[in-house]
Amino acid sequence: MSQSTKPFGTLRSIGGRIRAPFEGPNTTGNSTAFWVVFLGAVGFLMMYPQMVNPLVLGDTTRYFALGFLALSLCLVWGFGGILSFGQVAFFGVAGYAWGIISINFASATGMTLGIVGAVFIGTLFSFILGYFMFYGGVRDVYVTIITLVSALVLHTFMAQTAGSQWVIGSARLGGFNGMHSEHFELGIGSTGIVFGGTSPDPILRYYYFVVALLIVTYLALRVLVNSSFGMTMVAIREDEDRTATFGYNVPFVKLVIFTIGGALASLGGVLYTAWGSYISPSVFAITFAALPVVWVSIGGRESLIGVVGATVAIEWMQDSLAGTGSEWAMVIVGGLLVFVILVMPAGVAPQIERAGKWLLEKLPPHSDQQAGEPTSKQTRGDD
């Protein structure tokens, strides 16, 4: 193929070298077609704010913030085999932590450091819970239950913090009514840049901030799952006992996966709270805890891009239906979940990949441009 176009061949090998760490058996989309479409999608995301009004852009930013939550469950469940119903616990703890920090240190420096601090608190919580479970030999369905119950404990606790005694510094936790944080600012000293709020400009900046973080996170996760540590993760998912027999420290690996997942969920929680300058105990409720499982199951639990796509698609569908006053969103989401589990247990992404491969084989081999077409359906959901 590349005989006729020598310079193009060198370009390819450079591209191949850059691509190498991002590719491997544990991720879908290891083809040139995928990366062409991926770059196209990134370009589209950069242009996207020009096409929509600030209100829509704000909603889209929220979907992407929730995408971190989906990625965290995708890593923990899809690659680590640990079905956690409690990712929202870390999400919410970090969200509350950021809110409290932003109220008490309402400066650009305070809030920037607050991101680090809040993610650290959420991550520490996941580390402690993970240590408690995995070094105690808790497995399978019992992990699922402990994680869910942890979220529900937080829900019960936060719901009763309405009284005036529940104050941290100058932040009132607010019980069921939730807590209003400050508008998000990034910077050091007096050189803060305001993100979020209601005027178009900060919304635009916040959008780019979240999208850039999401793309970096996605690529970093691709590297992680295709690394040798990623292989160990998948080995444990496939057969825990056998992996232990080979001398791997299974509780340790699980703890690391769970903690990374907790960090991702925490980051999502901070971005989510900063997005609306608001957080309430409903993030710990069972209906919210169900959502990451829905996104990940439908998107395809072993496809990082699939779960982000599913998150955006499902949240967009919910918002659109709610906008028309329809109450059917949850019925559709629940029905979709049952349907996917029964008909395509691995989720939608592998189906799309298979369809893409099938089309690639059908098409004449030279036209890369056209080969990109089928997979673009997959990324269209992400827009």
Partner 1 sequence: MASIPLFSGYDAVILAFQFLESFAFIALAAVGLAIIFGMMGVINLAHGEFILVGAYGTALSFHAGLPLPLAMVVGVTVTTIFGIIVERTIVKHLYDRLLDSMVATWGLALALSQLLLIVFGSSINSIGMPMGSVSVGPFSRSIYQSAFLPFATLVLMGGLYVLFTRTTFGVKAKATIEDPETARAMGVDTDRMYLATFALGSATAGLAGALFAPTLGSIQPDHGSLFLVEAFVAVVVGGPSVILGTLSAAGVLGLTSGIFTFFYDTFAGRMALLVVAIFALRALPDGITGYVEDLRQKRREQA
**Binding residues vs partner 1 (CB under 8 A):** 83, 132-133, 136-142, 144-146, 148-150, 152-153, 156-157, 159-160, 285-287, 290, 293-294, 297, 327-338, 341-342, 345
Q: Which is nearer to partner 1, 253 or 294 (CB)?
A: 294
Q: Which is nearer to partner 1, 78 or 202 (CB)?
A: 78
Q: Which residues contact residue 318 at a Cβ distance below 8 angstroms, ignoring those fewer than 6 apart?
A: 329, 330, 333
Q: How far is the CB of 282 from partner 1 (least distance, A)?
A: 12
Q: Which residues contact residue 266 at a Cβ distance below 8 angstroms, ignoring those fewer than 6 apart?
A: 90, 91, 93, 94, 118, 119, 121, 122, 123, 126
Q: How far is the CB of 158 from partner 1 (least distance, A)?
A: 10
Q: Which is nearer to partner 1, 49 or 251 (CB)?
A: 251
Q: How far is CA 200 from CA 190, 275, 293, in A?
A: 22, 13, 33
Q: How far is the CB of 370 from partner 1 (least distance, A)?
A: 37
* Vertex 194: Cα angle to 183 and 210 (nearest 5): 85
Return the structure tokens found at 372: 């990109």
Q: How far is the CB of 133 from partner 1 (least distance, A)?
A: 7
Cα separation, 221 vs 219, whole angstroms: 5
Instruction: Please answer whether residues 260 and 113 qualify as being in contact, where contact means their C-beta atoms are separated by less than 8 angstroms.
Output: no
Instruction: Please answer whether residues 125 and 93 qualify as being in contact, where contact means their C-beta atoms are separated by less than 8 angstroms.
Output: yes
Q: Which is nearer to partner 1, 176 or 246 (CB)?
A: 176
* Vertex 66: Cα angle to 225 and 75 (nearest 5): 20
Q: Which is nearer to partner 1, 217 or 303 (CB)?
A: 303
Q: Which is nearer to partner 1, 231 or 344 (CB)?
A: 344
Q: Spell out the alpha helix ranges (H) of 135-249.
A: 140-159, 200-226, 228-238, 240-245
- How many CB atoms are located within 10 Å of the residue 55 CB? 11
* Vertex 129: Cα angle to 347 and 293 (nearest 5): 15
Q: Which is nearer to partner 1, 64 or 77 (CB)?
A: 77
Helix 54-73 / helix 304-323 crossing angle, nearest 10 deg = 140
Q: How far is the CB of 361 from partner 1 (least distance, A)?
A: 31
**Can you name the residues that pair with 278 across neighbouring β-strands?**
180
Q: How far is the CB of 226 from partner 1 (least distance, A)?
A: 24
Q: Which is nearer to partner 1, 103 or 148 (CB)?
A: 148
Phi, psi of 330 (to 5 degrees): -65, -35
Phi, psi of 180 (to 5 degrees): -95, 120
Q: How far is the CB of 347 from partner 1 (least distance, A)?
A: 11
Q: How far is the CB of 294 from partner 1 (least distance, A)?
A: 7
